[in-house]
Amino acid sequence: MFALKKLVGSLLMPLPLLGLFTLLALFSAFKGRKFSLVIACLGLSTLLAISTPFVANLILKNNEPATLSFHPSKHPELDKIVVLGCDINPNPALSANNQLGNCALTRLVEGVKLAKHYPKSQLIVSGGGYENITNSSLMHQTAIDLGIDKNRLIQNPYAMDTAQEAALLAPKLVDFKVALVTSVLHMPRAQSLFSVEGITSIPAATDFHNFAAFPLHKQFVPNAQALLAVTQYCHEMIGTAWIAVRRWLDPEAL
């Protein structure tokens, strides 16, 4: 069920969805259905448009509020810092930090920064993985390499998604002052799932985008970074919709 959910979710992302949509339309066109050419052009045009910094900025600018970043001046004390898992690139020949993807590394840097600002706090690194390498183990080793005492670190290696992270970590977090570190687009969904488990968290968002800062000559040129950001946004929209459906079917779910 978990693998099926991930497969369906992946296929609904902009690149595979619009790509398959266009491929089917073109295949149909070869059979003489001219209308499919219009559909194919629409699919390709949409894909190219959402890959431009200009359109990406229109989509994301109201979904990455700076208020979700963490401000130490507002929080004199902190008990727990939770860094949620993200992308990894397992390769035992490389150091731990070089096996973390950009998203995971960005989150961990924020967590380590907060851990150094709050020396009495506990740093919890979360996330499962594959090929016998977990997100949490790579973050754990990288945090140690960055100067965090291993006695302050806790791993949560068995969670494969945010709902599992919240459920497994709840016993360690309830009644503590918790900073939740994750990507800004993911923060609303993550806080919602942790809240269901009885955890009140302080957002410490990372991974912000500002495509409006791109120079004009790059605003309308398709860009892989812009497409990735829009894909992350779509992932969160689908994840939020899935949670809403689950809660509608079963108010006790998620």
| 145, two tokens | 């390499």
pTM greater than 0.85: yes
Delimit the domains of the chain by residue range: 1-51, 68-206
Per the listing, tokens 């989509």 go with 59
Using one digit for the tens of pLDDT, what is the confidence trace for 56-66? 999 999 999 99
CA atoms of 18 and 77, how far apart (whole Å): 47
CA atoms of 217 and 227, how far apart (whole Å): 17
Using one digit for the tens of pLDDT, what is the confidence trace for 65-75? 999 999 999 99
pLDDT mean over 206-224: 93
Using one digit for the tens of pLDDT, what is the confidence trace for 118-160? 999 999 999 999 888 999 999 999 999 999 999 999 999 999 9
The pLDDT of residue 240 is 94
Using one digit for the tens of pLDDT, what is the confidence trace for 92-113? 999 999 999 999 999 999 999 9
Instruction: Give the orientation angle of helix 53-60 with respect to helix 35-50, to 10 degrees.
Output: 80
Assign domain 68-206 to its CATH superfamily: HUPs (3.40.50.620)
CA atoms of 77 and 176, how far apart (whole Å): 11
Q: How many residues does the chain have?
A: 254
Using one digit for the tens of pLDDT, what is the confidence trace for 168-186? 999 999 999 999 999 999 9
Q: What is the dihedral of CA 63, 64, 65, 68, to 10 degrees?
A: 120
Quickly count: other Cβ atoms within 10 Å of residue 20's Cβ.
12
Count CA within 13 A, CB hemisphere, residue 55: 19
The pLDDT of residue 197 is 95
Backbone angles phi, psi at 154, to 5 degrees: -130, 135
The SS3 of residue 93 is coil
